[in-house]
Chain A
């Protein structure tokens, strides 16, 4: 890839028009892209490729004080302690009848296994649940057609329970788990049940829909159970498996008392109706084995080290992304059910029947490019698969399994996304390629370049490249939803009268300071363009100061910010009508200025104040004021 590639891309004259969104106009779709190792979720307008917002999810964000303010810190609590980062891969829109409903978007945390739920009326992370007895949470959080469950699985097998094991005995000590998390009620996500499976690497998942509703499919690789140099050792077998899980049957078995309760704590964090994050620790999960519930899990042999598993809009076709295979295997749900009924088993592994490959296979797509990974659908009978090694997207006809078109992408494409492309009713029109390598596509920015997303028009017979745009972190996977489904439900302000934060000061009359030992609570208000109080004295070195800021504005898009010199955490950004708290421990005596960080009016530069910090043990009384006499705290 030593040469520039723009010459090889035929760009039609009307392409610019196809992606141009005039000033003041809105994009047609909201696109949600995972931030990968940034731990966040970014929102782009489609087709313009304009960044609209970065939603903090698993990583602290000093810009918005997420994970720094007292009200949001509990969101990042886990059984490993406070975790300020994760690796977020797969956004997944909530569904009703297998179609995105615009309520929520879920996203997984890979490294410290978690699933988050983001509210789409506020674009704020509202809930995070930890996954116990799991590791490398990559096959997540794919959702069932009515949000009954989002799933999680072990990409890295671990001992269950996770105990000290000698590396020489590791391979036999490892188990996999497939986890089903209840996800149909806001703020009530919990582990419904976990299925013990062999210690392979479970990589990706998708739920059945339509004819296959009630099933979920998980790819696996490393059926060799290698624990070292997987690059070689996990690529020996010609076929690995797609695990097909009958989750409705699993529900019935669990309801009937199958399985056992396994101890183990996990965190459930959510924003309560006061806009304050609450952490609760839940104890124990229901663990079920294949033997506990015959007919619950089957293995579909799939070449070779499959990565993605994608189910077409009808639910009949289950497409494996045979990462190291020369074909794209397409399984038939109908044939799978028949194979189960006929007991067409090749073998049984740990109580899981392995179905006969030919008995479940619908067909193989020949010449699909090198390194096929992921497939999405346009709702018109076509499938689109990414080929990582040959850097292309291949369009093929599902029924005939023949390739219809191919287009190069720049470079090394992983996931792709069609709006609604993994649902029962794809919107089609656009496809976004999410590329891993950028090289020469943008102005160089030193050794690292932003990952490139590429917008492709799929409305015609031939795919057409429309736009490249840079993204944040690693946009691993994405989802998109028509903008009009969300616009009218957007929160613009929080009603000050409905503010139930225990530390709110809902008018300047309520602004005050209180001392409790060495803890000082400052109840401060903000409005264009002053703080109340804006003069404070009686704070001492060694005090633990909590600034509780209430934004009294009731006007859209007028947040105020707060920062004091030497603050060790972040600024505080407070939405209209909301209260947010930041902790500050002054380190030395002196005069500390504080100010509003978010440009709010023509007199924004005047929005400032002073705090007098006296030495530890001094007897300066606590006093505060705005534009007049100081009020001394008795």
Chain B
């Protein structure tokens, strides 16, 4: 039987670690490596509306136990500051980064650029989609309150 493990590092070298503003696979001139099979990310679209305060409060609880190990709101720590992340990133991107950081590293140029900058990969905290959605709501609330 085959394992589904993909050699992430080799892929990173193949893709180049510089951010190139998009997540398209590199063309064959840039890399002799065949393009990787399409990576399936858990979240393809998120409906966001006015801030749901109850959901944000739930998200805050998860954020404080699971995220503050590596993130602060207003300054760089182990990872980047998150106070304005809701403005800088699409909601789908935020949820996918929480839920499947290793898949984002395989397919997303921005995630690859962040690893190059911070050296420590975003850790998979094994959260559910509902938990990630609640964290997203909290991050949106923090940004709007700023």
A residues near B1, Cβ cutoff 8 Å:
25-26, 483-484, 487
A507 & B66 in contact (Cβ 8 Å cutoff): yes
B124 & A554 in contact (Cβ 8 Å cutoff): yes
Nearest-Cβ distance from residue B80 to partner chain A, whole angstroms: 15
B residues near A483, Cβ cutoff 8 Å:
1
Nearest-Cβ distance from residue B78 to partner chain A, whole angstroms: 7
| Contact residues on A (Cβ < 8 Å of other chain), bracket | 20 to 34
Nearest-Cβ distance from residue A434 to partner chain B, whole angstroms: 27
Residues 505-531 of A contacting B (Cβ, < 8 Å): 506-509, 525, 527-530
Residue A532 at the chain B interface, CB threshold 8 Å: yes
Give Cα A530–Cα B66 distance, bound, in whole angstroms. 15
A554 & B2 in contact (Cβ 8 Å cutoff): no
Give Cα A527–Cα B65 distance, bound, in whole angstroms. 13
A493 & B126 in contact (Cβ 8 Å cutoff): yes
With A25-B2, A507-B64, A508-B68 already in contact, the answer to whether A555 and B120 are too (CB < 8 A) is no
Q: Please tell me which one of the listed residues B2, B3, B64, B69 contacts residue A552 in the complex, with CB atoms under 8 A apart.
A: B69
A509 & B64 in contact (Cβ 8 Å cutoff): yes
Residue A603 at the chain B interface, CB threshold 8 Å: yes
Give Cα A508–Cα B127 distance, bound, in whole angstroms. 17
Residues 251-271 of A contacting B (Cβ, < 8 Å): none
Residue A495 at the chain B interface, CB threshold 8 Å: yes
A509 & B68 in contact (Cβ 8 Å cutoff): yes
B residues near A530, Cβ cutoff 8 Å:
78
B65 & A554 in contact (Cβ 8 Å cutoff): no
Which residue of B is nearest A627, CB measured?
B77
Which residue of A is nearest B6, CB measured?
A24
Nearest-Cβ distance from residue A143 to partner chain B, whole angstroms: 28
Q: Please tell me which one of the listed residues A25, A493, A508 contacts residue B69 in the complex, with CB atoms under 8 A apart.
A: A508
Nearest-Cβ distance from residue A166 to partner chain B, whole angstroms: 63
Residue B44 at the chain A interface, CB threshold 8 Å: no
Residue B36 at the chain A interface, CB threshold 8 Å: no
The A/B interface has a contact count, at CB < 8 Å, of 59
Residue B26 at the chain A interface, CB threshold 8 Å: no
Residue B123 at the chain A interface, CB threshold 8 Å: yes
B residues near A367, Cβ cutoff 8 Å:
none
Give Cα A259–Cα B32 distance, bound, in whole angstroms. 78
Residue A602 at the chain B interface, CB threshold 8 Å: yes
Which residue of B is nearest A25, CB measured?
B2
Give Cα A529–Cα B123 distance, bound, in whole angstroms. 10
Binary contact track B131-145/A, C-beta < 8 Å → 1, others 0:
000000000000000
Residue B13 at the chain A interface, CB threshold 8 Å: no
Residue A79 at the chain B interface, CB threshold 8 Å: no
The number of residues on chain B lying at the interface, defined by a beta carbon within 8 Å of a beta carbon of chain A, is: 21
Binary contact track B109-132/A, C-beta < 8 Å → 1, others 0:
000000000011101111100000
B126 & A555 in contact (Cβ 8 Å cutoff): yes
Give Cα A558–Cα B122 distance, bound, in whole angstroms. 13
Give Cα A601–Cα B69 distance, bound, in whole angstroms. 16
With A495-B126, A553-B123, A601-B121 already in contact, the answer to whether A507 and B5 are too (CB < 8 A) is no
Give Cα A558–Cα B102 distance, bound, in whole angstroms. 13
Which residue of B is nearest A576, CB measured?
B126
Residue B51 at the chain A interface, CB threshold 8 Å: no
B residues near A24, Cβ cutoff 8 Å:
2-3, 5
Give Cα A484–Cα B114 distance, bound, in whole angstroms. 38
Binary contact track A570-600/B, C-beta < 8 Å → 1, others 0:
0000000000000000000000000000000
A602 & B120 in contact (Cβ 8 Å cutoff): yes
Nearest-Cβ distance from residue A525 to partner chain B, whole angstroms: 7
Binary contact track B61-90/A, C-beta < 8 Å → 1, others 0:
000111011100000011000000000000
Q: Please tell me which one of the listed residues B68, B78, B102, B126 contacts residue A554 in the complex, with CB atoms under 8 A apart.
A: B126
Give Cα A507–Cα B68 distance, bound, in whole angstroms. 9
Nearest-Cβ distance from residue A559 to partner chain B, whole angstroms: 13
B residues near A506, Cβ cutoff 8 Å:
65
Give Cα A476–Cα B31 distance, bound, in whole angstroms. 52
Which residue of A is nearest B64, CB measured?
A509
A residues near B119, Cβ cutoff 8 Å:
601-603
Most A Cβ at <10 Å: residue of B1, B2, B3, B127: B1
A residues near B77, Cβ cutoff 8 Å:
627
B120 & A528 in contact (Cβ 8 Å cutoff): yes
B64 & A527 in contact (Cβ 8 Å cutoff): no
With A26-B1, A602-B120 already in contact, the answer to whether A554 and B125 are too (CB < 8 A) is yes
A528 & B123 in contact (Cβ 8 Å cutoff): yes
B residues near A553, Cβ cutoff 8 Å:
123
B69 & A532 in contact (Cβ 8 Å cutoff): yes
B residues near A603, Cβ cutoff 8 Å:
119-120
A507 & B65 in contact (Cβ 8 Å cutoff): yes
Residues 22-45 of B contacting A (Cβ, < 8 Å): none
Which residue of B is nearest A604, CB measured?
B120
Which residue of A is nearest B119, CB measured?
A602
With A24-B5, A484-B1, A530-B78 already in contact, the answer to whether A555 and B123 are too (CB < 8 A) is yes
Give Cα A506–Cα B123 distance, bound, in whole angstroms. 15
Nearest-Cβ distance from residue A534 to partner chain B, whole angstroms: 12
Nearest-Cβ distance from residue B131 to partner chain A, whole angstroms: 10
Give Cα A528–Cα B124 distance, bound, in whole angstroms. 11
A residues near B70, Cβ cutoff 8 Å:
527
Nearest-Cβ distance from residue A531 to partner chain B, whole angstroms: 11
A residues near B2, Cβ cutoff 8 Å:
24-26
Give Cα A508–Cα B121 distance, bound, in whole angstroms. 18
Give Cα A525–Cα B69 distance, bound, in whole angstroms. 9
Which residue of B is nearest A508, CB measured?
B69
Give Cα A119–Cα B45 distance, bound, in whole angstroms. 41
Which residue of B is nearest A552, CB measured?
B69
Give Cα A496–Cα B119 distance, bound, in whole angstroms. 25
Give Cα A627–Cα B119 distance, bound, in whole angstroms. 18
Give Cα A10–Cα B106 distance, bound, in whole angstroms. 48
Give Cα A488–Cα B80 distance, bound, in whole angstroms. 36
Nearest-Cβ distance from residue A602 to partner chain B, whole angstroms: 4
Nearest-Cβ distance from residue A598 to partner chain B, whole angstroms: 15
Nearest-Cβ distance from residue B15 to partner chain A, whole angstroms: 17
A555 & B124 in contact (Cβ 8 Å cutoff): yes
Give Cα A484–Cα B77 distance, bound, in whole angstroms. 43
| A contact residues vs B (CB 8 Å cutoff) | 24-26, 483-484, 487, 493, 495-496, 506-509, 525, 527-530, 532, 552-555, 558, 601-603, 627
Known pairs A483-B1, A528-B120; list 13 more (Cβ under 8 Å). Answer: A24-B2, A24-B3, A506-B65, A507-B65, A532-B69, A553-B123, A554-B125, A555-B125, A558-B123, A601-B121, A603-B119, A603-B120, A627-B77
| Cβ contacts A to B, 18 pairs, < 8 Å | A24-B2, A24-B3, A25-B1, A484-B1, A493-B126, A507-B64, A507-B68, A508-B68, A508-B69, A509-B68, A527-B69, A527-B70, A528-B121, A554-B123, A554-B124, A555-B102, A555-B125, A602-B120
Closest 4 CB pairs of A and B: A554-B126, A507-B65, A555-B124, A602-B119
